[in-house]
């Protein structure tokens, strides 16, 4: 047994210690409750000790902190992650052990001289220092007491300051906090604690405290901390590529031969390797089972009727892994409920956690080795009320073609299939895949009505898109109901193949990178269905959420046709009994309007849009291309037909007179106002200005022509017969308010107009956009002044006088209309088959 004398040694690089330790056997007595594992854990009375072996010093350990139980109203649930950090234990200069938080910001090959400079420039913070209470010479281990550390308020094991602020909490109440349980396993140690926080006093109507905080002045959380030993040999990294959608990590990389610092960006993926005995089969191209398959367990709190569908959603990915060379690579199974060696919070197990929550959501995170991108485990979050969202989506998108959707409670098979689809989508995230919002654009709109084509290909090439259900299909198309839903598609199989295929170990990382790049060129160039369209955050109308097909105008037209079929029916569909109130009708009507709004905005993004196609310098074609003028004009005409003209089919009195929410009654008008604000946004017009200058030889849609076209649609010809209705007056007021915001954002009043003005300032400063806005306001002012004297409709006269004064307040009062005044253009020509 190692017993260090007091003050009888000198510290040398942490190898010798000034020790104040007691004997090992005096601490770990027969009464101690001990467990072997990553750390041997000993409980002695109310104290806990970790036994740290020398072999763990400077080994990287991932610490994942999760909720186990949360108070009502918190918005977080058991199984959700709080934080994720990498730590190392190291010997201190005296009789102590340091716990450092490891930060991977920059790195260098240890064989390069520059690695010394990197090491000299970076130091990781010491979070905690532990006295060594005793050492065991034969086992080469050291005892540290961790009781106070585990019970303390530190960012590794408890809530961070921003998280406490979100809950409106102060510090930990130590007398009400304790260690509940510690379990140690070969590669991980799991710690459960109960932590009670004092709540802040909350003032103000908008600042709501948690119910427990109001009642007791404190809240109590149950938290799990997983200490997971990272592999001694990190998995080989795979470089990320913008043309395939994977989540990724990165750090700065230094090397002796560099002339600039490189950013090393690598994808997140599981470590899939053939079994040693199958290696030759794998090299010959045979499907082999991985040494360690990916297993997802279903939370035993999940209702039994839905478990088979969740498992099917997991197992659906097997076909994708087969394309990468592995069979039975991913498996879903039920949790073994009576196995005391397993815990839902144990970081060795990936689990789909089921939350009793009113939230309509699901998410698929993963925990990765920050050194390599290796996915170590995942806890998928599944909220019970997600079924409500799935019901609404399916009723308004497929209700016209699937009789099963025409009721408030779906049968088990239909809801199960909807659950299966979402399960597959979320599992895709846990495999490393990002959203591919451009996938649905690879499907021609006419194919969305072709039953034979859909059976073979599905309505989108990726389940990672937000392409929910085939709303383009019309009743007369007779599309089978199973082909209305997304499924694992061509892109999904290709992306798994690209990310998970193994190559010869003789390849260095740069050679592998070139091979993977060539795979993309060879495959994606010849197959549009393998294209990764990004997250939908750019100006590319191909990459949008909730859309379908390669032409938003055609797809949205079919979608609206189906909504027009559904609108007269929903009052009957939502009725469950004669005693029902109208809350179901209110909800489904909102969903109907939201779906209509989605269709409108899918079209809007085409105006001033830019196609973005990531490429390497070895590929042909441009990365950025503006959308052709005819497509943009087609979009503008669509908007005139379906939103500038009042959609009376949607504003049904039999519905609006039955629901209580005033917002529902104004929702269509709000959509129109949002569209106008979007169309006259400074970002869009500045972008169109840039495009018209950059591509002036390619007949771009110039902003002045666009504004003329928009004017004609909103105002038409003002003459003696000119008359407005309430909807058109709101449209025109919105137009003028937004045009004023473009011209003089500083004088704009009102929340919405002010928001637009703030957004426009940076885009329109020192551009022609403000000049065009002034010119347009002056022209409109002249037209109004010329028209009012010959008008006869009182409300229209009042409306135009109001707008005249609004414009005068900004541009001043002009003289009589110039006889050379040229009115707005009266036509918007769209080419069809090469003709005007």
Tell me what pLDDT residue 831 has. 46
- Domain boundaries of the chain, sorted by first residue: 24-229, 276-566, 680-811
Pair of tokens at residue 452: 């034979």
Count of CB atoms situated within 10 Å of the CB of 363: 13
Give the whole-number percent of the chain exceeding pLDDT 70.
87
- What confidence tier does 261 reach under pLDDT thresholds 50, 70, 90? low
Mean pLDDT of the chain: 86
Q: Name the H helices within 657-788.
A: 662-679, 682-694, 703-715, 726-743, 751-764, 769-787
Q: What is the DSSP string of 776-792?
A: HHHHHHHHHHHHGGG--
Count of CB atoms situated within 10 Å of the CB of 678: 17
Q: Which of the listed ranges 158-172, 522-536, 813-827 does the model predict with the highest average pLDDT?
A: 522-536
Give the whole-number percent of the chain exceeding pLDDT 90.
57
Q: Answer whether 299's CB lies under 8 Å from 354's CB.
A: yes
pLDDT in tens, 339-348: 877 888 787 8
Distance (Å, rounded) from C-alpha 760 to C-alpha 762? 6
* Of 464, 441, 461, nearest in space to 453 by CA: 461
Which of the 8 DSSP states describes residue 433? B
Across the strands, what pairs with 179? 193
Pair of tokens at residue 541: 């109308």
Element (H, E) at 680: none
- Segment 334-359 shows an average pLDDT of 85
Residue of 338 and 35 predicted with greater confidence: 35
Task: Tell me the CA distances in angstroms from 113 to 72, 104, 116, 256, 457, one per residue in order.
Answer: 56, 19, 6, 7, 54
pLDDT in tens, 289-327: 999 999 999 999 999 999 999 999 999 999 999 999 999
- pLDDT(580) > 90: no
Q: What is the DSSP string of 389-403?
A: HHHHHHHHHHTTT-G
Tell me what pLDDT residue 173 has. 86
Q: What is the DSSP string of 601-647?
A: HHHHTTTT-EEE----TTS-S-SEEEPPHHHHHHHHHHHIIIIIS--
Residue of 63 and 107 predicted with greater confidence: 63
- pTM higher than the cut 0.75: yes
Least confident of 76-80, 205-209, 385-389, 816-820: 816-820
- Segment 774-781 shows an average pLDDT of 93
Pair of tokens at residue 213: 């905080």
Element (H, E) at 805: helix 794-811
Long-range residue pairs from 97-103, CB within 8 A, at least 24 positions apart, any chain: 97/52, 97/129, 97/130, 97/132, 97/142, 97/144, 98/126, 98/128, 98/129, 98/130, 99/126, 99/127, 99/128, 99/129, 99/130, 100/124, 100/125, 100/126, 100/127, 101/125, 101/127, 101/156, 102/60
Distance (Å, rounded) from C-alpha 258 to C-alpha 761? 42
Tell me what pLDDT residue 363 has. 87
Residue whose tokens read 């209700």:
399
Distance (Å, rounded) from C-alpha 151 to C-alpha 170? 15
Q: Answer whether 154's CB lies under 8 Å from 172's CB.
A: no
- What confidence tier does 126 reach under pLDDT thresholds 50, 70, 90? confident
Least confident of 103-112, 127-136, 312-321, 417-426: 103-112
């Amino acid at each position: 047994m190692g017993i260090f004398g007091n003050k009888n040694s000198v510290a040398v690089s942490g190898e010798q210690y000034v020790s104040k330790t007691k004997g090992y056997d005096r601490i770990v007595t027969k009464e101690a409750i001990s467990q072997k594992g990553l750390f041997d854990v000993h409980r002695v009375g109310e104290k806990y000790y970790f036994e740290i072996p020398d072999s763990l010093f400077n080994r990287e350990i991932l610490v994942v902190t999760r909720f186990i139980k949360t108070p009502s109203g918190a918005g977080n649930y058991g199984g959700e992650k709080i934080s994720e950090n990498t730590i190392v234990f190291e010997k201190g200069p005296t009789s102590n052990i340091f716990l450092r938080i490891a930060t991977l910001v920059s790195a260098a090959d240890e064989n390069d001289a520059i690695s010394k400079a990197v090491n000299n420039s970076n130091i990781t913070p010491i979070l905690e220092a532990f006295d060594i209470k005793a050492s065991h010479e034969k086992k080469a281990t050291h005892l540290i007491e961790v009781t106070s550390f585990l019970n303390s308020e530190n960012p590794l094991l408890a809530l961070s300051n921003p998280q406490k602020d979100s809950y409106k909490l102060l510090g930990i109440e130590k007398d009400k906090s304790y260690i509940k349980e510690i379990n140690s396993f070969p590669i991980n140690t799991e710690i459960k604690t109960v932590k009670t926080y004092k709540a802040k006093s909350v003032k103000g109507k908008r600042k709501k405290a948690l119910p427990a905080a109001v009642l007791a002045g404190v809240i109590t959380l149950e938290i799990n901390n997983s200490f997971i030993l990272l592999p001694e040999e990190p998995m080989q990294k795979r470089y990320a590529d913008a043309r395939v959608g994977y989540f990724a990590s990165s750090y700065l990389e230094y090397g002796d031969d560099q002339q600039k610092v490189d950013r090393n960006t690598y994808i997140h993926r599981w470590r899939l390797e053939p079994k040693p005995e199958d290696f030759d089969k794998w090299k010959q191209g045979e499907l082999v089972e991985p040494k360690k398959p990916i297993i997802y367990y279903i939370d035993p709190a999940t209702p039994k009727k839905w478990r088979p569908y969740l498992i099917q959603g997991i197992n659906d990915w097997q076909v994708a892994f087969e394309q990468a060379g592995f069979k039975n690579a991913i498996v879903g199974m039920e949790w073994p409920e009576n196995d005391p060696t397993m815990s839902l919070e144990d970081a060795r197990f990936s689990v789909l956690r089921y939350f009793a929550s009113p939230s309509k959501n699901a998410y698929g995170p993963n925990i990765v080795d920050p050194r390599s991108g290796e996915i170590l485990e995942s806890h998928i979050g599944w909220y019970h009320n997600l079924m409500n969202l799935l019901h609404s989506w399916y009723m308004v998108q497929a209700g016209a073609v699937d009789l099963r959707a025409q009721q408030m409670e779906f049968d088990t098979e239909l809801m199960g299939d909807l659950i299966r689809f979402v399960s597959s989508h979320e599992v895709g995230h846990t495999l490393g895949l990002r959203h591919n919002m451009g996938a649905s654009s690879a499907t021609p709109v006419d194919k969305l009505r072709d039953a034979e084509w859909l059976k073979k290909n599905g309505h989108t090439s990726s389940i990672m898109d937000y392409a929910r259900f085939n709303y383009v299909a019309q009743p007369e198309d007779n599309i089978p109901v199973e082909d209305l839903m997304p499924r694992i598609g061509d892109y999904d199989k290709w992306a798994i193949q690209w990310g998970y295929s193994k190559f010869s170990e003789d390849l260095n990382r740069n050679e592998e990178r070139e091979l993977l790049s060539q795979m993309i060129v060879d495959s994606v160039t010849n197959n549009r269905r393998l294209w990764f369209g990004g997250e939908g955050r750019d100006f590319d109308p191909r990459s949008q959420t909730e859309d379908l097909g390669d032409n938003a105008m055609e797809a949205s037209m079919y979608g609206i046709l189906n909504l027009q079929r559904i609108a007269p029916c929903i009052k009957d569909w939502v009725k469950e009994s004669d005693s029902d109130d109208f809350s179901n009708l209110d909800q489904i009507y909102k969903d109907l309007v939201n779906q209509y709004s989605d269709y409108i905005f899918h079209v809007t993004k085409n105006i001033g849009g830019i196609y973005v196609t990531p490429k390497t310098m070895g590929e042909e074609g441009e990365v950025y291309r503006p959308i052709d003028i005819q497509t943009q004009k087609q979009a503008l005409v669509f908007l005139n037909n379906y939103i500038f003209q009042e959609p009376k089919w949607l504003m049904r009195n039999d519905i609006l007179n039955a629901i209580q929410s005033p917002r529902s009654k104004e929702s269509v008008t709000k959509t129109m106002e949002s569209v106008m604000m979007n169309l006259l946004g400074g970002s869009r017009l500045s972008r169109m200005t840039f495009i018209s200058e950059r591509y002036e030889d390619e007949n771009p849609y110039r902003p002045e022509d666009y504004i003329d076209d928009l004017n004609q649609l909103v105002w038409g010809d003002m003459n003696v017969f000119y008359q407005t209705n309430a909807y058109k007056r709101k449209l025109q007021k919105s137009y003028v308010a937004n045009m004023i915001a473009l011209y003089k954002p500083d004088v704009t009043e009102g929340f919405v107009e002010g928001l637009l003005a703030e957004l426009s300032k940076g885009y329109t400063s020192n551009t022609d956009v403000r000049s065009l806005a002034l010119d347009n306001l002056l022209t409109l002012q002249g037209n109004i002044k010329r028209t009012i004297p010959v008008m006869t409709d009182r409300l229209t006269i009042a409306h135009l006088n109001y707008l005249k004064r609004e414009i005068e307040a900004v541009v001043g009062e002009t003289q009589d209309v110039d006889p050379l005044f040229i009115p707005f253009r009266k036509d918007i020509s769209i080419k069809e088959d090469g003709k005007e």
